[in-house]
């Protein structure tokens, strides 16, 4: 074959090379040879990317209007990548058998997520990690109505500020998304999908991980339109559009176990036949990066729940609490972490059976207290701060924060009456606080700067929660607490008894010298207590130290650390 003819043939098959940085999403655009009447059903586009060392990623593509199709991909290593497309319609010369190269250079920017790589989980590792194995600190900000937030005036402002405050995760639901999947995918839905595109991209460009729920609000799925074939295609579409960004999949709001079975007057689905399980499994199947997946859980309580769930018509409304051992998603393919919904009490002990259940029955998966009480809706500054410390010191290596008018923009939910939670009353007037004010609540900085900085310095991923084990800590009366240690070398004790200075006694210490400091979680300041040498305990084996009173009747953190030899 003449050389010129060979070059011409190859040029029709090979697209122009593009360049990008590692772990950064890039987009390839193709024009189909025909305009499909129903693109989601009529054709399917996939590209296989091969890395410089031969690793392959099978990436789904998506229709984006007219004859336009796109594939989004983030290279995981530097060098020249090769790709080839496959279309389910082999005769479509615009989509099928297109070849090309992608030049990836090492990321040189400031964001850890691109310097270290996407978040992952590993069997038996109880925290999220970057691709390079470094621990990832999960502190999320909640936005259930993300699509409703004015893009320039609010959305971008909040994202940028949360990054400055030290947050690492953006938690979203697609409430208010400007599309309608109930009648198929058409040109009419593209404006809403493009709006989500720019929001996902902005979050990614800010260096945040996006813990996002899929598709729509949970009960929507019961419509007859959403048969298995269509739901699977929608799951593939979601991965195709958003899987090349740093994301975590959370499936849908409170669907583990069954969206409370009965909200209002409608029965939705039961835990045994929950269709959202299929969505999670399909997302996992199509995701070339295997981003960690979960399902937003219902409220966690210590009330037992059966392993086999009664039919929905026999279950009482809000009748069960969901913990790791009672999760109906725990064995679903793609489930690799628990998105817990729990609010610790401010006027009493931790419900120890609950936190122990997640630690002991969570299959070694990361646990995140994904949704708790929101600042100025169901708690105030102290409670919002408490939730972060309580999570991390009880083996939930992640916390989802939320503030009024940000967790749900322009919300009317539970806004018409005062809320009383233990010692705290949140008034209707306080609930009227707008996002421009709640964005600067002290609790955000107290978690994103003070708590995060403290825990990073002591290598939080090495901590083991001690729960209510009195061989590690014997509290005084009303000394409500959470304790975690690194062996007997380092103790972190969070005391949240708001109206006393009571403490207690540390046990299991070594007969060596320790240093002790109080840490103020409100200000981020330390108060040095100097050195101490534990005394032999009379009632239990080992050595003990009686902790001095707290500096004030507020929440304080004690850090006791063994001095090196």
Which segments of 414-489 are extended strands (E)?
419-421, 424-426, 464-465, 473-475, 481-486
Residues contacting residue 345 through CB under 8 Å, at least 6 positions apart: 351, 422
Cα separation of 450 and 520, whole Å?
Answer: 9
CA distances to 244, 377, 435 from 414, in Å: 37, 8, 17
Order of strands across the sheet with 26-31? 26-31, 68-73, 62-63
Cα separation of 292 and 445, whole Å?
Answer: 27
Cα angle value 265/271/276 (rounded, 5°): 90
Query: By CB neighbour count within 10 A (0-12 exposed, 13-18 middle, 19+ buried), where does 133 fall?
Result: exposed
- pTM for this prediction: 0.94
CA distances to 76, 113, 409, 473 from 79, in Å: 10, 19, 43, 54
Taking only the tens place, the pLDDT of each residue in 213-270 is 999 999 999 999 999 999 999 999 999 999 999 999 999 999 998 887 655 446 677 7
Which of helix, strand or coil describes residue 396? coil
Q: What are phi and psi of 445, to 5 degrees?
A: -70, -35
Residues contacting residue 544 through CB under 8 Å, at least 6 positions apart: 505, 506, 507, 509, 534, 535, 536, 537
Cα separation of 131 and 120, whole Å?
Answer: 6
- Torsion, Cα 316 321 326 327, to 10 degrees, reads 100
Name the nearest CA neighbour of 89 among 49, 30, 12, 14.
30
Write down the pLDDT at residue 272. 82
Given a contact cutoff of 8 angstroms between Cβ atoms, the answer to whether 554 and 544 are in contact is no
Residues contacting residue 343 through CB under 8 Å, at least 6 positions apart: 372, 373, 378, 379, 383, 387, 421
Cα separation of 384 and 229, whole Å?
Answer: 42
Tokens for 539? 């009632």
Which of helix, strand or coil describes residue 473? strand
Cα separation of 348 and 512, whole Å?
Answer: 33
Q: What's the average pLDDT block by block, 10 residues per block, for the chain (565 residues)?
A: 36 61 98 96 98 97 98 98 98 97 97 98 97 98 98 98 98 96 95 98 98 95 94 98 98 90 63 92 98 95 62 52 91 97 94 95 97 97 97 98 98 95 93 98 98 98 97 94 97 95 96 97 98 86 92 97 92
Supply the DSSP string of 190-215, one letter for each residue: HHHHHHHHHHHHHHHHTT-EEEE--S
Cα separation of 201 and 241, whole Å?
Answer: 10
- Domains in the chain (CATH in brackets) are 12-108 (2.60.40.10), 119-463 (3.20.20.80), 466-562 (2.60.40.1180)
Given a contact cutoff of 8 angstroms between Cβ atoms, the answer to whether 210 and 248 are in contact is yes
Measured N-to-C along each axis, helices 187-205 and 228-242 cross at an angle, to the nearest 10 degrees, of 40
CA distances to 104, 108, 339, 369 from 136, in Å: 24, 19, 16, 15
Length of the chain counted residue by residue: 565
Cα separation of 113 and 246, whole Å?
Answer: 7
Element housing 237 (H / E): helix 228-242
Cα separation of 510 and 527, whole Å?
Answer: 23
Given a contact cutoff of 8 angstroms between Cβ atoms, the answer to whether 372 and 339 are in contact is no
Strands 209-212 and 169-172: parallel
Write down the pLDDT at residue 263. 55
b (16+ CB within 10 A) / e for 179-196: bebeeebeeebbebbebb
Q: What are phi and psi of 420, to 5 degrees?
A: -110, 120
Strands 26-31 and 266-267: unpaired
Taking only the tens place, the pLDDT of each residue in 73-96 is 999 999 999 999 999 999 999 999
Residues contacting residue 351 through CB under 8 Å, at least 6 positions apart: 301, 302, 344, 345
Given a contact cutoff of 8 angstroms between Cβ atoms, the answer to whether 391 and 482 are in contact is no
Please provide the distance, in angstroms rounded to a whole number, between the alpha carbons at the two ends of the chain: 78
Cα separation of 217 and 284, whole Å?
Answer: 20
């Amino acid at each position: 074959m003449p050389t010129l003819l060979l070059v011409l043939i190859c040029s029709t098959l090979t697209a122009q090379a593009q360049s990008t940085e590692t772990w950064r999403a890039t987009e390839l655009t193709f024009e189909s040879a025909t305009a499909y009447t129903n693109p989601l059903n009529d054709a399917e586009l996939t590209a296989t990317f091969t890395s410089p060392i031969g690793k392959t990623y099978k990436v789904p593509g998506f229709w984006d209007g007219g004859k336009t199709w796109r594939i989004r991909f983030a290279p995981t290593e530097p060098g020249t990548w090769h790709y080839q497309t496959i279309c389910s319609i082999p005769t479509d010369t615009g989509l099928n058998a297109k070849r090309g190269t992608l030049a990836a250079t090492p990321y040189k920017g400031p964001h850890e997520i691109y310097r270290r790589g996407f978040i992952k989980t590993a069997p038996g590792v109880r925290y999220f990690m970057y691709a390079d194995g470094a621990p990832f600190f999960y502190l999320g900000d909640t936005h259930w109505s993300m699509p409703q937030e004015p893009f320039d005036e609010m959305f971008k402002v909040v994202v940028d500020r949360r990054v400055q405050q030290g947050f690492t995760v953006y938690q979203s639901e697609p409430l208010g998304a400007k599309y309608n999947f109930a009648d198929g995918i058409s040109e009419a839905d593209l404006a809403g999908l493009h709006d989500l595109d720019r929001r996902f991209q902005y979050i990614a460009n800010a260096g945040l991980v996006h813990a996002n729920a899929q598709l729509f609000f949970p009960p929507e799925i019961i419509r007859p339109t959403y048969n298995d074939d269509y739901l699977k295609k929608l799951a593939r579409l979601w991965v195709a559009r958003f899987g090349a960004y740093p994301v975590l999949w959370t499936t849908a709001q409170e669907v583990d176990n069954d969206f409370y079975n009965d909200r209002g007057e409608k029965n939705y689905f039961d835990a045994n036949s929950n269709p959202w399980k299929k969505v999670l499994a399909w997302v996992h199947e199509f995701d070339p990066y295997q981003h960690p997946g979960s399902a937003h859980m219902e409220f966690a309580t210590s009330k037992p729940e059966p392993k086999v769930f009664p039919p929905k018509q026999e279950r009482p409304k809000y009748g069960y609490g969901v913990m790791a051992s009672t999760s109906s998603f725990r064995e679903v393919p793609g489930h690799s972490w628990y998105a817990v919904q729990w609010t610790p009490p401010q006027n009493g002990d931790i419900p120890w059976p609950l936190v122990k259940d997640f630690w002991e029955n969570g299959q070694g998966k990361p646990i995140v207290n994904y949704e708790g009480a929101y600042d100025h809706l169901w708690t105030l500054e102290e409670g919002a701060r408490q939730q972060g410390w309580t999570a991390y010191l009880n083996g939930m290596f992640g916390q989802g924060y939320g503030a009024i008018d940000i967790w749900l923009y322009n919300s009317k939910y539970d806004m018409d009456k005062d809320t009383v939670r233990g010692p705290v009353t949140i008034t209707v007037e306080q609930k009227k606080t707008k996002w421009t004010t709640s964005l600067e609540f002290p609790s955000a900085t107290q978690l994103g700067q003070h708590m995060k900085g403290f825990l990073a310095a002591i290598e939080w991923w090495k901590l083991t929660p001690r729960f209510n084990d009195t061989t590690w800590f014997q509290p005084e009366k009303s000394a409500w607490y959470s304790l975690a240690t690194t062996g007997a070398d380092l103790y972190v004790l969070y005391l949240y008894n708001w109206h006393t200075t009571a403490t207690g006694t540390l046990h299991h210490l070594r007969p060596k010298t320790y240093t002790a400091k109080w840490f103020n979680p409100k200000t981020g300041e330390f108060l040095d207590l100097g050195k101490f040498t534990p005394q032999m305990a009379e009632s239990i084996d080992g050595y003990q130290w009686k902790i001095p009173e707290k500096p004030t009747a507020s929440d304080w953190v004690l850090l006791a650390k063994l001095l090196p030899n």
